[in-house]
């Protein structure tokens, strides 16, 4: 009897031992996030605010020479900003406390280019205080952007400036409560000055005052820029990267590395996707009808949050100091669309099993419980397991969401999604993908099946926190409006079999407007507004607006006799020409025009040799030229290569125009032009 009791005791101890062993958590793999980085990643989505003198001067980059009195919002309301962000589902706001022009949105004692010198509130205002208070009231995180580039401060370009900037940082980080993110970029130069930034000093200042703050830059160290301003993180997106020897700006890693991170990178530097709801970063009345569509914002959500990146969406206040109704309405529509897409997780009541389980604490059912801190894991040696979902009946879906438990590192190298083909009685491939990270969402055409399988390839045993399957709405694509150089307008839609209606009088199109059946002519310019509908208007797309100036049908390129040069005036932004940097592009407009300005459309690629600085000339005879722009800047064209509208101080009568590059966004012996146009309207 005694021996039997001892045997039972030994058996229980053995079971207990192996049970405890099986329930030990996996060992972290590679670089891992700090607790502050984990909390930051869980925010997912927050607001960027670009606001300052540029709001009132209608430029993207001010030069620091503007009169501070131009900053004079008539109805500044940071409560409205915070209320809008909260209603949009955002978790915080980051504001451009100081942009490249050096203007400070608070009365800094280290600058004479501040709200103190402005007309707003007779110099007694403080935007940072008003916004930080509003964020506290609405339960939002508060963050700040301070550009180290300062085109106004007289000390910029000297050794003393680094300490002045550190003092400026200290001032902001000491007086406005908790800061969740400190946003830096590496912009440098202007007026012939360059500054060797002391990043160690800047980081030290941030961490002394705000130890929890996530520092953003090209190389973090808290989070990184992901290489473009279009809202597109890499389909492969590691949160790890090698940052030793790099720095923000010109010393940053290549954009493809920023976009995708690096497998096995020594530092945890997750991606943040910054993009504007409008074409530019600062408010302009000309972009009131160019707010991104719901469809585009949803697409950005999938290519940012859905690709292991946080989304920082810029919503610039207008000249009143309020978020424009067009922007706020679109934000609400965006939130509703995303919430509708993910309202019902179809695996909630499904049966789920896995090929391997580490122990009871890491069972596969953890991926269904909606709690991030519980996860499914396999035994250490199992790197290629699978999860199977049985919906119990034919189920339609088109989205798959996966989350890794990132406190243990980023462990999945790739995965494959399969569905059970009932007719063939076999597993068929649905999708293949690489990294997961904090969150990965796949989109694919709607599939009907009763069973789903996900197969993993791990660098270490998987730790999967959540699995979601959803049936999202399908958008009706908006019309695509094109005009050729002879003024002929065509309208099409990528969705199958829609009916397109349009107007040319500025009114909103509806099913009662002109039905598009054939091309139309707008040689002298005009506005086309179009909408796609199906089921007699039951389902509608976003309205698209195309605003055209005079067409280029009668123009001639007078530069070297190269037919490719005509691509610069063919009316097609998707074609482009490359020209030797020693040669200007000269155009005969065919007749005299009263010009208000000109437009330059770069190639839409941040690595392209687009023009960043230029001279612009006009002439009435093609021989005698007047320079109307001297070494002028196409603002932010490297990071945001979009169409530039350049206005002259006065209307100019001319027949000939000439664009001459003086500096390129990327070094090359040739420059790129997608389209050159004129502004007469």
Burial letters 170-209, b for 16+ CB under 10 A, else e: ebbbeebeebbbbbbbbbbebeebebebbbeebbebbbeb
- Rounded to an integer, what distance in angstroms lies between the CA atom of residue 217 and that of residue 267? 14
Residue 399 has pLDDT above 60, yes or no: yes
Domain C-terminal end among 527, 548, 569: 548
Tell me the two tokens of residue 456.
């993993």
**Has residue 522 been placed in a domain?**
yes
**Do 180 and 43 fall within a single domain?**
yes
Residue 23 has pLDDT above 90, yes or no: no
HEC letters along 566-591: HHHHCCCCCCCEEEECCCCEEEEEEE
Higher pLDDT, 494 or 288: 288
Lowest mean pLDDT among 35-44, 268-277, 407-416, 496-505: 496-505
Residue 381 has pLDDT above 90, yes or no: yes
**Has residue 26 been placed in a domain?**
no
**Do 68 and 213 fall within a single domain?**
yes
Burial letters 479-488, b for 16+ CB under 10 A, else e: bebebebebb
**Has residue 29 been placed in a domain?**
no
Cα 275 from chain centre:
3
Lowest mean pLDDT among 451-465, 488-502, 560-574: 560-574
Cβ(116)–Cβ(64) below 8 Å: no
Whichever domain contains 535, its CATH number is 2.60.40.10
**Do 500 and 386 fall within a single domain?**
no
Cβ(401)–Cβ(439) below 8 Å: yes
**Has residue 65 been placed in a domain?**
yes
Domain C-terminal end among 340, 370, 390: 340
Pairing of strands 463-470, 376-377: antiparallel
**Has residue 620 been placed in a domain?**
yes
**Residue 21 confidence (pLDDT):** 43
Residue 146 has pLDDT above 50, yes or no: yes
Burial letters 379-397, b for 16+ CB under 10 A, else e: eeebbebbbbbebeeebeb
Domain C-terminal end among 293, 318, 340: 340
**Do 268 and 316 fall within a single domain?**
yes
**Residue 561 confidence (pLDDT):** 56
The mean predicted confidence, pLDDT, of the chain is 94
**Has residue 238 been placed in a domain?**
yes
**Residue 562 confidence (pLDDT):** 67
**Residue 477 confidence (pLDDT):** 87
Give strand ranges (E) for 459-540: 463-470, 480-483, 488-492, 499-503, 514-515, 520-521, 526-534, 539-540
**3 state SS of 22:** helix
Query: Distances in Å between the alpha carbon of 524 and those of 353, 553, 629, 658?
Result: 65, 10, 26, 22
The residue among 281, 283, 275 whose CA lies nearest residue 300 is 275
Neighbours of 466 (CB within 10 A): 22
**3 state SS of 223:** strand
**Do 620 and 649 fall within a single domain?**
yes
Burial letters 406-432, b for 16+ CB under 10 A, else e: bbbbbbbbebbbbbbeeeeeebeebee
Query: Distances in Å between the alpha carbon of 596 and those of 22, 245, 609, 627?
Result: 74, 47, 27, 15
**Do 441 and 300 fall within a single domain?**
no
Can you tell me the mean pLDDT for 416-426? 95
**Residue 191 confidence (pLDDT):** 57
Give residue 494's pLDDT band: very low, low, confident or very high (50, 70, 90): confident
Give residue 186's pLDDT band: very low, low, confident or very high (50, 70, 90): confident
Q: How many domains does the chain have?
A: 4
Give residue 497's pLDDT band: very low, low, confident or very high (50, 70, 90): confident
**Residue 569 confidence (pLDDT):** 95
Query: Distances in Å between the alpha carbon of 655 and those of 306, 554, 556, 588, 624?
Result: 50, 12, 11, 6, 12
Give residue 495's pLDDT band: very low, low, confident or very high (50, 70, 90): confident
By CB atoms closer than 10 A (0-12, 13-18, 19+), residue 8 is: exposed
Give residue 496's pLDDT band: very low, low, confident or very high (50, 70, 90): confident
Give residue 11's pLDDT band: very low, low, confident or very high (50, 70, 90): very low
**Residue 484 confidence (pLDDT):** 94
**Residue 8 confidence (pLDDT):** 42
Highest mean pLDDT among 362-366, 540-544, 639-643: 362-366
**Do 466 and 393 fall within a single domain?**
yes
**Do 186 and 98 fall within a single domain?**
yes
**Do 382 and 314 fall within a single domain?**
no
The residue among 9, 25, 613 whose CA lies nearest residue 360 is 25
Give residue 13's pLDDT band: very low, low, confident or very high (50, 70, 90): very low
Whichever domain contains 184, its CATH number is 3.20.20.80
Residue 537 has pLDDT above 80, yes or no: no
**Do 156 and 260 fall within a single domain?**
yes
Whichever domain contains 447, its CATH number is 2.60.120.260
Instruction: Provide, for the chain, the percentages of residues in helix, strand and coil under a 3-state DSSP scheme, each rounded to the nearest 5.
Output: 20, 35, 45
**Residue 17 confidence (pLDDT):** 40
Domain range for 398:
351-470
**Has residue 651 been placed in a domain?**
yes
Neighbours of 89 (CB within 10 A): 16
The residue among 616, 592, 602 whose CA lies nearest residue 680 is 592
**Do 598 and 672 fall within a single domain?**
yes
**Do 163 and 40 fall within a single domain?**
yes
Report the largest interatomic distance among the alpha carbons of the chain, rounded to a whole angstrom.
Answer: 117
Can you tell me the mean pLDDT for 510-539? 92
Give residue 15's pLDDT band: very low, low, confident or very high (50, 70, 90): very low
Give residue 560's pLDDT band: very low, low, confident or very high (50, 70, 90): low
**Has residue 18 been placed in a domain?**
no
Does the reported pTM lie above 0.85?
A: yes
Cα 114 from chain centre:
28
**Residue 1 confidence (pLDDT):** 45
């Amino acid at each position: 009897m005694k021996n039997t009791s001892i045997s039972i005791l030994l058996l229980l101890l053995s079971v207990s031992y192996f049970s405890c062993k099986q329930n030990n958590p996996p060992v972290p793999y590679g670089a891992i996030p700090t607790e502050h980085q984990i909390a930051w990643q869980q925010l997912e989505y927050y607001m960027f605010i670009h606001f300052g003198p540029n709001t009132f001067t209608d430029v993207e980059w001010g030069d620091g020479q503007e009169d501070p009195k131009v900053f004079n919002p008539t109805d500044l309301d940071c409560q409205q900003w915070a209320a809008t962000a909260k209603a949009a589902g955002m978790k915080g706001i980051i504001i451009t406390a100081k942009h490249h022009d050096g203007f400070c949105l608070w009365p800094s004692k280290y600058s004479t280019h501040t709200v103190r010198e402005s007309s707003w509130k007779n110099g007694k205002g403080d935007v940072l205080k008003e916004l930080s208070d509003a964020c506290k009231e609405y339960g939002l995180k508060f963050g700040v952007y301070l550009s180290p580039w300062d085109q106004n401060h007289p000390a910029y370009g000297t050794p003393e400036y680094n300490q002045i900037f550190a003092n400026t940082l200290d001032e902001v980080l000491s007086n406005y409560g908790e800061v969740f993110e400190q946003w830096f970029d590496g912009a440098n130069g202007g007026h012939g000055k360059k500054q060797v930034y002391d990043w160690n000093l800047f980081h030290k200042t941030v961490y002394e005052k705000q130890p929890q703050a996530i520092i953003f830059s090209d190389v973090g160290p808290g989070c990184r820029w992901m290489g473009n301003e279009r809202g597109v993180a890499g389909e492969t997106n590691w949160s790890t990267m090698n940052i030793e020897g790099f720095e923000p700006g010109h010393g940053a890693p290549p954009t493809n590395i920023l976009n995708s991170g690096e497998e096995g990178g020594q530092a945890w530097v997750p991606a943040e996707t910054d993009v504007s709801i409008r074409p530019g970063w600062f408010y302009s009345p000309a972009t009131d009808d160019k707010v991104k569509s719901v469809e585009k914002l949803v697409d950005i959500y999938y290519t940012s949050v859905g690709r292991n990146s946080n989304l920082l969406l810029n919503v610039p206040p207008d000249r009143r100091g309020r978020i424009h109704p067009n922007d706020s309405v679109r934000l609400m529509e965006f939130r509703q669309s995303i919430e509708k897409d993910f309202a019902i997780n179809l695996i909630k009541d499904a049966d789920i099993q896995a090929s391997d389980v580490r122990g009871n604490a890491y069972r596969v059912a953890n991926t269904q419980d909606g709690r991030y801190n519980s996860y499914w894991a396999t035994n250490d040696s199992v790197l290629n397991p699978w999860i199977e979902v049985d919906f119990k009946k034919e189920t339609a879906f088109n989205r798959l969401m996966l989350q890794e438990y990132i406190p243990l590192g980023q462990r999945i190298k790739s995965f494959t999604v399969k569905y059970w083909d009932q007719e063939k009685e076999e597993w068929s491939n649905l999708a293949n993908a690489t990294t997961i990270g904090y969150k990965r969402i796949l989109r694919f055409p709607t599939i009907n099946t009763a069973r789903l399988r996900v197969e993993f390839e791990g660098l270490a045993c998987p730790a999967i926190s959540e699995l979601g399957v959803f049936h999202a709405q399908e958008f009706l694509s908006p019309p695509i409006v094109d005009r050729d150089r002879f003024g002929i307008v065509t309208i099409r839609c990528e969705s199958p079999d829609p009916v397109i209606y349009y107007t040319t009088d500025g009114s909103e199109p509806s099913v009662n407007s002109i039905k598009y059946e054939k091309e139309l002519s707008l040689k002298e310019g005009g506005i086309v507004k179009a909408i796609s509908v199906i089921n007699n208007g039951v389902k509608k797309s976003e309205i698209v607006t195309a605003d055209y100036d005079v067409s280029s049908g009668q123009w001639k390129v007078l530069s070297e006799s190269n037919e490719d040069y005509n691509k610069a005036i063919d009316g097609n932004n998707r074609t482009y020409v490359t020209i030797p940097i020693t040669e200007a592009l000269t155009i005969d407009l065919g007749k005299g025009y009263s010009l208000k300005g000109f437009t330059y459309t770069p190639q839409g690629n941040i690595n392209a040799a687009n023009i960043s600085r230029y001279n612009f000339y006009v002439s009435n005879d093609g021989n005698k030229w007047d320079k109307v722009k001297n070494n002028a800047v196409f603002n932010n064209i490297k990071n945001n290569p979009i169409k530039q509208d350049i206005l002259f101080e006065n209307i100019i009568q001319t027949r000939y125009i000439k664009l001459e590059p003086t500096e390129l966004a990327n070094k090359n012996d040739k420059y790129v032009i997608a389209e050159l146009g004129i502004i007469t309207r």
